[in-house]
Amino acid sequence: MNIILNNNQESFEGDRLTVNEILKAKKFSFKMLVIRINGKLVKKDEYDTAIVNDGDKLDVIHLVSGG
Amino acid sequence: MTFKEIKNILKTKKVGIAGAGGLGSNCAVALARVGVGTLIVADFDVLSEDNLNRQYYFLDQVGKKKVVMLAENIQNINPDVKVIACDVTLTEENIPVLFRDCDVIVEAFDRADQKKVLLETVISCMPDKKLVAGVGVAGWGHNETIRFRKTGNIIICGDENTEVGPDMPPMAPRVGIVANMEANAVMEILLADECVS
């Protein structure tokens, strides 16, 4: 399937994947994330269940301390 | 636009700033210098001496509340700016109330978990509000890694990677760059709004 990940077109094996499956495939190991599917917030306890479908827009923001 | 025209637009605007540390104090001062009418600044912290390596305060203000001192410093730069100093810990309950009327919100926290609370609250409770965030400011050098990107209503400034640690402290040059990038992004939003309406 093809999705828009952080404004870039990306391809993944399979028709629908959970957020966690995509994070694993992308080897994202960050701790503090803010994730949206098509603009809608996905909370951390939903990463195993929230589904990303073909054509979806997925935003992953990785937060680090400092300011 | 002349600076006079810019000031006339900005004086009608209200910006919320979440945090009055390195990002927040420097961003607030930049916005005050260009004449943003109202700044709502929220922070619970007291100034310590080691904050002075990057934050817009002075030695004789150590031990005092940051939001109160920031209001004082801004008063000395541009007395036309109204600073609403909120000595509070921001939570998912009070963020939508405090920043309800703001044209833009600036994320200027130090800790990643606080940044996350603000971003998630704005995304879920205030999806039409623009939020400018500072992410990845620690260390020194590496100007080439500092960037800017937009994702929906969130605008991110910083390298999105470098985390503070014992060997990677936050310091004035890099924190100041990102704080001023945030202020620059805010100006762009405030002036663009005006061109449309």
How confident is the prediction along chain B (197 residues), in pLDDT tens digits per residue?
999 999 999 999 999 999 999 999 999 999 999 999 999 999 999 999 999 999 999 999 999 999 999 999 999 999 999 999 999 999 999 999 999 999 999 999 999 999 999 999 999 999 999 999 999 999 999 999 999 999 999 999 999 999 999 999 999 999 999 999 999 999 999 999 676 55
Question: Is A39 in Cβ contact with B115 (below 8 Å)?
Answer: no
What CATH number does the domain containing A9 carry?
Answer: 3.10.20.30
Q: Could you tell me which residues come within 8 angstroms of residue B78 by beta carbon, excluding any fewer than 6 positions away?
A: B32, B33, B35
A67 found inside a domain: no
What CATH number does the domain containing B159 carry?
Answer: 3.40.50.720
Judge contact between B13 and B43, C-beta under 8 A.
Answer: no
Number of domains in chain B: 1
Q: Is the interface score ipTM higher than 0.90?
A: yes
Number of domains in chain A: 1
Which residue segment(s) compose the domain that A41 sits in? 2-62
Q: Which tens digits make up the pLDDT trace of A9-54?
A: 999 999 899 999 999 999 998 889 999 999 999 999 999 999 999 9
Count A/B contacts: CB-CB distance under 8 Å. Answer: 80
Enumerate residues 130 to 159 of chain B having a beta carbon within 8 A of any beta carbon in chain A: 133-138, 149, 151-152, 154, 156
List the single residue in A with minimal CA-CA distance to B137.
A66
Q: List, as one string, the DSSP characters of B136-174.
A: ---SS--GGG-EEEEETTEEEEE-S-PPPBTTB---HHH
Which residue segment(s) compose the domain that B32 sits in? 3-196
